[in-house]
């Protein structure tokens, strides 16, 4: 699954839908308006019948929103495209997006649900569930089928932010960004924030503190059994982890294995990072300050001002153990990159992966 979002203006007109979608490949539902937010409908001017869009009943009617105090204070509409939108992870995410939990209670959104042709009926069902929920901030739902990287390159804002979830997410993110050369590579992310939260939870349990006392945790590298949870730079209640947890064997073995083998990222980019802390995200390595190989997607420590952008954290400590693990994860990602050379414009692909890189239970 890949998720992307970009900013546009809140349109003056919206469509309101109350019945099932027709089976088309470019269906649109615009919904989630309370009764007091609409005026009497006016017919759409269709013009040339040949150019008339496929629609049914109220899908062919346009409503003008009343200028209510609530909507006056809202931000500009943002477009959010979610691929694999019929899947379980996306289904959970979509309702968080529509409710305002991710971007805030004053941020209207338009959802673009992307999927394969075989998932189209499921996408229609998801769209109708969203419609029935009557989220005030949800202004449009559109269903489309597309090739993600090339579609982003063709129509997305140059400021779009893309988060890739489907594994192997680092290499999938690399494929996506290579197929969207007009979008800055820095705008693509591979999800590792969940692994960071797992690491924080394990450290908190071991130290006997609540997890909000754990900070400065980094997940380095790939989302696989070679990823590196960094306890050298992490802190518990402001103290270095090693000053709190003396069991080095646990840190190097059991802690690392638990984070690797147990299966918000967006909020980290739209919310300012707390002073002195950072978050983990798989990002493009070009120009990184750590000496990690260029032209791959690698999880590294980031900070954000909440504007959708980020910077890499420079004041990071390394020891021999951490460097050894990072090098192993780097080698795995370089091998994965060679496997997909034909998809990223680098000639004939060949695979020399030493072992299966997927996590237990993944296909």
DSSP letter for 124, please: H
Residue 106: both structure tokens together: 């004053």
Residue with tokens 């499921």: 122
How far, CA to CA in Å, does 267 sit from each of 135, 214, 315? 19, 18, 23
Interatomic CA distance for residues 269 and 302, integer angstroms: 10
Strands 13-14 and 61-64: antiparallel
Catalytic hit among 9, 13, 92, 223? 223
In 10 A of CB 8, how many CB atoms?
11
Q: Within 163-304, where are the H helices?
A: 169-178, 193-207, 241-244, 248-249, 256-261, 265-270
Q: How many CA atoms within 13 Å lie on the side-chain side of 182? A: 10
**92 annotated active-site:** no
Which pair of tokens denotes residue 205?
Answer: 């349990």
**Is residue 297 a contact partner of residue 259, using CB atoms and an 8 Å limit?**
no
Distance (Å, whole) CA 91 – CA 87: 6
CB 39 within 8 A of CB 63: yes
Burial 302-325 (b: 16+ CB within 10 A, else e): bbbeeebebebbeebeeeeebeeb
Residues that are catalytic: 223
């Amino acid at each position: 699954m890949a998720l992307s979002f970009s900013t546009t203006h809140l349109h003056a007109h919206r469509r309101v839908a109350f019945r099932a979608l027709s089976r088309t490949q470019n269906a649109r539902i615009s919904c989630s308006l309370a009764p007091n937010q609409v005026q009497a409908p006016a017919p759409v001017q269709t013009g040339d019948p040949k150019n008339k869009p496929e629609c049914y009943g109220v899908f062919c009617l346009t409503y003008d929103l009343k200028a209510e105090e609530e909507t006056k204070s809202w931000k500009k509409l943002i477009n959010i495209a979610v691929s694999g939108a019929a899947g379980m992870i996306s289904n959970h995410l979509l309702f968080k997006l529509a409710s305002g939990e991710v971007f805030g209670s004053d941020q209207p959104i338009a959802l673009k649900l992307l999927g394969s042709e075989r998932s189209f009926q499921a996408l229609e069902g998801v769209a109708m569930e969203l419609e029935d929920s009557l989220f005030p901030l949800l202004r449009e739902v559109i269903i489309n089928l597309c090739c993600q990287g090339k579609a982003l390159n063709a129509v997305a804002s140059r400021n779009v932010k893309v988060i890739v979830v489907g594994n192997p997410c680092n290499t999938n993110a690399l494929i996506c960004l290579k197929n969207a050369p007009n979008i800055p590579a820095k705008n693509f992310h591979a999800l590792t924030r969940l692994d960071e939260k797992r690491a924080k939870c394990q450290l908190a349990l071991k130290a006997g503190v609540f997890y909000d006392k754990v900070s400065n945790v980094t997940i380095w590298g790939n989302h696989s059994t070679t990823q590196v949870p960094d306890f050298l730079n992490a802190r518990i209640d402001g103290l270095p982890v090693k000053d709190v947890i003396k069991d080095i064997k646990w840190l190097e073995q059991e802690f690392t294995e638990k984070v690797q083998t147990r299966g918000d990222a967006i909020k980290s980019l739209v919310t300012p990072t707390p002073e002195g802390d950072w978050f983990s995200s798989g990002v493009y390595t070009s120009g990184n300050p750590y000496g990690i190989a260029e032209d791959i997607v690698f999880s590294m420590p980031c900070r954000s001002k909440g504007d959708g952008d980020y910077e890499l954290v420079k004041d990071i400590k390394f020891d021999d153990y951490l460097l050894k693990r990072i090098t192993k994860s780097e080698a795995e990602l370089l091998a994965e990159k060679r496997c997909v050379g034909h998809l990223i414009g680098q000639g004939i692909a060949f695979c020399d992966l030493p072992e299966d890189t997927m996590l237990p239970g993944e296909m």
